Amino acid sequence: MAVHLRLFPQGFGAEVSGFDAQDGRSPADIGALQDALTSHSLLVFRRCGRLSPKRQAEIIGWFGTVGAGSLPEGTMATTMDNANDRGRARLPFHSDITFFRYPLQGISLHPLELPAVDTSTTYISNAVAWNTLSPDLQGMLRDRKARHYHQDDGKMGNDAQVFETWHPVCMPHYKTGRPLLFVTEHHVDRIEDFDQEEGAKLLQRLFAHIYAPTRQYEHIWREGDLVIWDNYAIQHARTHEANPADGRRVLQRVWFGEHGYTDQLEQLLKDRTNASAARSSGTDLSPA
């Protein structure tokens, strides 16, 4: 059976059928799935059965390098578990680690345990958001940058580090060049050339546009699901707390990209240490 796609009405995303999630790996299937993710940014697979970390990583490896620079040797997957804060709390819309120079390229989730009540992850498309933005706002924002900011709470052992990176508001997709409205409610707090009051009003206007209910796809998790998305083109959110009182919620997570959280954190801390040492010694490390 050939891979078949049912497109979603939000203008992004597709449900995939005709693919054997347990054993399928023919060149035709791989090519069809690669083309589908490039075209639609988010793929939903139903009734996959239980996927091992190895199998999920094999599938994700068709789209890019799995876990580069961040996962311990031999580790292919992590879990998001509502037994802890990171897997339980409400999460505003975001793309992962945009506060570093290189966000993740893509992410996948597969449920290992689900509560008896509905639990979901909600998605929007940065490409759709840009394409439907008014021409006046496109013209105003096309050449500006936004600050992606995050202050770590120290729970990951990073001593409450502050991270920030300025990315283009109109971000060309790293692979296709397609324009993306690269502004997220979780991490963007400033747009260059606007004062605090003007910038806050502009961000609220953009967020109302980006997160309009008609542009959202809410995925209600079912056993055997697999969802894969392009982290540049798609934002995701946990719009409701995954309350442990409702039951256990454990999602197996495999991501792909050339750079991850750990390697970029280590490089950033190294650069900061070198810069501090240079200031102390009076050495100028700025470019000639």
Band (pLDDT 50/70/90 cuts) for residue 108 is very high
Instruction: Tell me if the domain spanning 4-270 has CATH number 3.60.130.10.
Output: yes
Q: What is the pLDDT of residues 13-39, one digit of tens each?
A: 999 999 999 999 999 999 999 999 999
Here the tokens at position 235 are 């934002």
Could you report how far apart the first and last alpha carbons of the chain are, in Å? 60
Q: How far apart are CA 72 and CA 86, in angstroms?
A: 20
Digit-coded pLDDT (tens) for 200-215: 999 999 999 999 999 9
pLDDT, tens only, 160-219: 588 999 999 999 999 999 999 999 999 999 999 999 999 999 999 999 999 999 999 999
Nearest 5°: the CA angle 113, 117, 119 is 65
Task: Indicate whether 155 pLDDT > 60.
Answer: no
Domain borders along the chain are 4-270
Separation CA 191–CA 182 (nearest Å): 11
| Residue 121 and residue 238 in contact, taking contact as beta carbons nearer than 8 Å | yes
Q: Which pLDDT band holds residue 288 (cuts at 50, 70, 90)?
A: very low
pTM (two decimals): 0.93
> Which of the 8 DSSP states describes residue 50?
P
pLDDT at 67: 86
Q: Which pLDDT score is estimated for 17? A: 98
CB 200 within 8 A of CB 209: no
Mean pLDDT of 57-76: 88
Give the angle subtended at the CA of 188 by the CAs of 271 and 141, to the nearest 5°.
110
